[in-house]
């Protein structure tokens, strides 16, 4: 195709003019940094996207200006943190679990002399917004997501676009990008084992247990395995779906009571669910932990302030924030980086009938 013709790629058209990397980005449907990475042969851009970009560059007779390329690829020393909305009663739409992690990420960036650009994001996938942040910062950290099946569309697009990113979430085989998360299976197992050791045998699980919510699903699997190892058959009537809110935990516990199912313990897939369940039990004059033990997952500040204080599984948010930042910086530098699961620890409090400070995880 001659330079004087109109260039068409799909439904995109470009009038006559000198080709630039921005032109190629528009025609290829990717960001300008992705074009730069592809033409440098960066492994961060998948083969299909790189071939498409290279083909357009050849058609436009585009050649890389090495001086300009050097200026464009100079790092901004800025990282972007995208926090996704969560239903909360206070209207903040930020899961309280991420509050402490936000502080850890901010501190880690400051120690490494990086600025942090923080943005609140709706859960709806928005590839144009992701590309915009990919241009403003050297890399992106993702916190929260809601339904994983919807979220996967977003991270697949970011991975195909060559964006440097790392996410907090369940580590799963074959998922795009790099994930840092905790050992949710182990956490679900040890807290259930603790309830069993306290003599509880009819343990209910409150929380969504499907591939749409992989963290909860792994906690549920750990719970199931602990029951199996104790020779107890899992009873599906003792599992109620619930999102990670106190309101959802309250409604799930009320549903459990409406079913007339016998239970002597509740494991909430999050502290918020467990705290909501405790409120429902109190309203129904069921004493915790005398009649029913309750445990959660996350170790939010509210867990230690509850009455009785909530037994829970602690995720180390300080270590998580540091690991997210350092992993992203390795990606930016082109160094090897892999998924990582962080260990968890059981925190035993009065809601299970004991007041020990920590138990081995």
The tens digit of pLDDT for each residue in 164-182 reads: 999 999 999 888 899 999 9
Residue 295 and residue 242 in one domain: yes
Spatial distance between the Cα atoms of 156 and 114, rounded to a whole number of angstroms:
26
Cα gap 144→160, rounded to integer Å? 21
* Claim to verify: residue 89 and residue 170 sit in the same structural domain: yes
CB atoms within 10 A of CB 237: 12
Contact 108, 180 (CB under 8 A): no
Helical residues (DSSP H) of 175-295, grouped into ranges: 184-197, 214-229, 246-259, 271-283
Q: Could you give the 3-state DSSP secondary structure of residue 307?
A: coil
CA distance 346 to 310: 11
Residue 172 lies in a domain: yes
**CA nearest to 140, candidates 44, 70, 23:** 44
Query: What would the two tokens of residue 22 be?
Result: 């921005």
Pair (244, 263) in one structural domain:
yes
The residue behind tokens 């600025």 is 115
Instruction: Give the number of residues written for the chain.
Output: 361
Quick check: is 67 in a domain? yes
The number of distinct structural domains making up the chain is 3
Q: Which two tokens stand for residue 205?
A: 């699980």
Q: Is residue 149 part of a domain?
A: yes
Residue 249's domain comprises 184-316+346-352
State the Cα–Cα distance between residues 102 and 124, nearest whole angstrom. 22
CA–CA gap between residue 109 and residue 91 (Å, rounded) = 28
- Same structural domain for residues 303 and 334? no
Q: Are residues 199 and 267 in the same domain?
A: yes
Q: Is a pLDDT exceeding 80 seen at residue 340?
A: yes
Last residue of a domain, one of 22, 50, 72: 72
Can you give the pTM of this predicted structure? 0.78
The reply to whether 357 falls in a domain is: no
Assigned domain for 1 exists: no
The answer to whether the Cα torsion of 237, 242, 246, 250 is positive or negative is negative
Clarify whether residues 174 and 99 are in a common domain: yes
Q: What is the pLDDT, as a whole number, of residue 230?
A: 97
pLDDT digits (tens, 9 = 90+) for 286-304: 999 999 999 999 999 999 9
pLDDT in tens, 187-235: 999 999 999 999 999 999 999 999 999 999 999 999 999 999 999 999 9
What is the crossing angle of helices 32-39 and 21-28, to 10°?
100
Q: Do both 258 and 247 map to the same domain? A: yes
pLDDT, one tens digit per residue, over 49-100 is 888 888 888 888 776 654 444 444 557 889 999 998 776 766 667 788 888 8
Q: Which residues pair with 117 in a beta bridge?
A: 80
Q: What is the CATH number of the domain that holds 200?
A: 3.40.50.2300
The tokens of 219 are what?
């906690």
Q: Specify if 263 maps to a domain.
A: yes
Residue 14 domain-assigned (yes or no) = yes
Q: Are 88 and 96 in contact (CB under 8 A)?
A: yes
Instruction: Give the pLDDT of residue 262.
Output: 95
Residues 189 and 303 in one domain: yes
197 with 295, same domain?
yes
Asked if residue 358 belongs to a domain, the reply is no
Clarify whether residues 135 and 236 are in a common domain. no
Final residue belonging to a domain, choices 51, 72, 93: 72
What's the CATH code of the domain at 11? 1.10.260.40
Which of 72, 102, 127 is where one domain is finished? 72
d(CA 188, CA 81): 28
Q: Are residues 310 and 329 in the same domain?
A: no
């Amino acid at each position: 195709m001659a330079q004087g013709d109109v260039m068409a790629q799909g439904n995109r058209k470009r009038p006559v003019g000198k080709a630039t990397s921005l032109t190629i980005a528009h025609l290829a449907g990717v960001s300008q940094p992705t074009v730069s990475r592809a033409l440098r042969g960066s492994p961060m851009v998948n083969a299909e996207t790189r071939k498409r970009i290279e083909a357009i560059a050849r058609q436009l007779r585009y050649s890389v200006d090495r001086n300009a390329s050097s200026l464009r690829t100079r790092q901004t020393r800025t990282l972007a943190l995208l926090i996704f909305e969560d239903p909360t009663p206070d209207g903040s739409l930020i899961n309280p679990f991420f509050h402490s992690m936000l502080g850890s990420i901010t501190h880690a960036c400051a120690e490494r002399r990086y600025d942090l650009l923080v943005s609140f994001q709706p859960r709806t996938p928005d590839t144009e917004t992701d590309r915009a942040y990919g241009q403003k910062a050297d890399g992106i950290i993702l916190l929260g997501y809601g339904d994983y099946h919807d979220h996967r569309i977003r991270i697949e697009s970011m991975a195909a676009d060559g964006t440097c990113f790392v996410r907090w979430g369940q580590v799963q085989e074959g998922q795009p990008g790099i994930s840092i998360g905790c050992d949710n299976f182990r956490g679900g197992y040890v807290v259930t084992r603790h309830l069993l050791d306290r003599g509880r045998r009819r343990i209910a699980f409150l929380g969504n247990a499907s591939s749409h919510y992989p963290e909860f699903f792994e906690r549920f699997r750990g719970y199931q395995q602990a029951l199996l190892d104790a020779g107890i058959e899992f009873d599906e009537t003792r599992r109620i779906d619930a999102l990670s809110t106190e309101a959802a935990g309250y409604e799930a516990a009320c549903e459990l009571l409406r079913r007339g199912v016998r239970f002597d313990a509740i494991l909430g897939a999050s502290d918020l669910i467990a705290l909501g369940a405790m409120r429902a039990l109190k309203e129904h004059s069921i004493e915790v932990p005398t009649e029913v033990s309750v445990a959660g997952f996350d170790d939010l500040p509210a867990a230690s302030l509850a009455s009785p204080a909530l037994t829970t599984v602690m995720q180390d948010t300080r270590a998580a924030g540091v690991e997210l930042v350092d992993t992203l910086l390795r990606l930016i530098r082109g160094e090897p980086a892999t998924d990582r699961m962080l260990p968890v620890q059981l925190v035993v409090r009065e809601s299970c009938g004991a007041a020990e400070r920590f138990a081995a995880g």
